[in-house]
Amino acid sequence: MPTIQVLYNDLCQLLGKQIPLEDLKEYILLIKGEVERVTPIEQGNEIIDYELSIEITSDRPDMLSTEGLARALKGFLEIELGPPSYTIKETNIAVKVDKSVSSVRPYIACAIIRGIEMSDPLIRQIMQLQEKLHTTHCRNRRKGSIGIHDLDNVEPPFTYYAEDPDKIKFIPLGETKEMTGREILQKHPKGIEYGKIIEKYNKYPLLVDKNNEVLSLPPIINGIVTRVTEKTKNLFIDVTGTDWRIVTTTLNIVTSNIAERTGSIESVKIIYPDKEIRTPDFKSTEMTVEINYANKILGIDLTPDQMIKCLRKVRLDAHVVNS
């Protein structure tokens, strides 16, 4: 199971209330996490914070950051009940998907978050969330990979297509010189680590802007032109992959977790050869549960109202359709 690092004061700030550390450890255990280690952070002779090392169960990828953990705790502690609400503004920003990626890495979903207030905790959590989602939910980037970019450094519309690796030329993150796609797979640390995912193909997936500036060579590395810094105000998020469900759920997790802390969400139009869609899509799904059957499986005896409240505490919603 993945382990995340969380600052105690940052978590309490997102919760909107200070919770005793020992109580917080117990609450986390009850929402499918476990605090494995508590490390005091000292300044001089004074403890100013604690770093919590928390193991999260594999079925809760939404809790792989402080923001997602806080959202779950808000429900359990009845600070907020029911599904979280996010407003998504439609924009004209589009990504055209070329048919050339269909046999390589066919899916892409994107989102925009504007008005970001960058901070050290946010930057740390974005990096951690990417890393943990990549290794778990995205199966080491094979089924999905995330790119987070400074939107103000590029110009839409964007194009997602496959290109000859020797014709791909850009400066990747962590480098100072232009490299070809093939050189990145052979020499760049991320290319060496993840290159096997795409090296068998004659063409590599590429995401570029209107002026052919490279945002990313998925699932390997972003271009340096869209590097996120402490001055970044607007984010462009892309998730590419081979599994549509993983691509879209990953985008939803990253987008909503960042928006828990700062910014406003905007959608992106994805233009496939045979259809157009908008992402992110936070529409809920519905299922019907027979109350007596649920009680039998659980070995308890909840009334409909009690069951609804329990569901709302885990940030779901419910109502009785047939009494």
CATH tag, 88-279? 3.50.40.10
| φ, ψ dihedrals at 54, nearest 5° | -120, 125
What percentage of the chain's residues is helix, strand, coil (to nearest 5)? 35, 30, 40
The pLDDT, as a whole number, for residue 22 is 97
The pLDDT, as a whole number, for residue 253 is 98
How large is the angle between the packed helices 21-29 and 66-76, nearest 10 degrees? 90
Q: Give the span between the Cα atoms of 190 and 219, in whole angstroms.
A: 9
The pLDDT, as a whole number, for residue 80 is 97
The residues of the chain that CATH labels 3.30.56.10 are 3-76
3-76: CATH topology is Phenylalanyl-tRNA Synthetase; Chain B, domain 1 (3.30.56)
Kindly give the confidence (pLDDT) of every residue in the chain, 323 residues in length, as a single tens digit, with 9 standing for 90 and above.
899 999 999 999 999 999 999 999 999 999 999 999 999 999 988 999 999 999 999 999 999 999 999 999 999 999 999 999 999 999 999 999 999 999 999 999 999 999 999 999 999 999 999 999 999 999 999 999 999 999 999 999 999 999 999 999 999 999 999 999 999 999 999 999 999 999 999 999 999 999 999 999 999 999 999 999 999 999 999 999 999 999 999 999 999 999 999 999 999 999 999 999 999 999 999 999 999 999 999 999 999 999 999 999 999 999 998 86
Q: What is the pTM of this model?
A: 0.95
Q: Give the span between the Cα atoms of 3 and 252, in whole angstroms.
A: 21
The pLDDT, as a whole number, for residue 308 is 95
The residues of the chain that CATH labels 3.50.40.10 are 88-279
Q: Whose structure tokens read 């109350």?
A: 291
The pLDDT, as a whole number, for residue 88 is 97
